[in-house]
Amino acid sequence: MNAVEKVTLEQVQDVATLANLELSPEELPRLANDLNAILGYVEQLNELDTTYVLPMAQVSEVLGIQPSLAGESLRADQVRPSLDRGAVMAEAPETDGRFFKVPKVIER
């Protein structure tokens, strides 16, 4: 983290595109503002030297519980009933009962 470089409107727009978010002309500067305030605040983490600290991704790591590579910590790989397909498809905004329908993907 370099000393608080301001995030530009253009960068916020790029991140929004990555996240598939549509931002209105009013939202963009407001969110840029918020983002800069929050990033300025989290800057204080740089006060800590973490060169030799292993990152903690999961709680089990600090407890010394490592996921087993052999897979015995996972449930048995057995065929079991799953959700009713009709009930699942019924929640789709647009479906033919078998597939989810979406707007055309390939332009002619």
Q: Is 39 exposed, middle or buried (0-12, 13-18, 19+ CB in 10 A)?
A: middle
Site residues for other proteins, 39-78, by CB under 8 A, read 39, 41-42, 44-46, 48, 50, 53-63, 73-75
**CB of residue 22 to other proteins, shortest distance in Å:** 4
- Whole-angstrom distance, CA of residue 41 vs CA of residue 45: 9
Q: Is 9 exposed, middle or buried (0-12, 13-18, 19+ CB in 10 A)?
A: middle
Q: What x-and-dash track marks residues 14-33 binding other proteins by CB under 8 A?
A: -xx-xxxxxx---x---x--
**CB of residue 11 to other proteins, shortest distance in Å:** 8
Q: What x-and-dash track marks residues 75-104 binding other proteins by CB under 8 A?
A: x-------xx--xx-xxxxx-----x-xxx
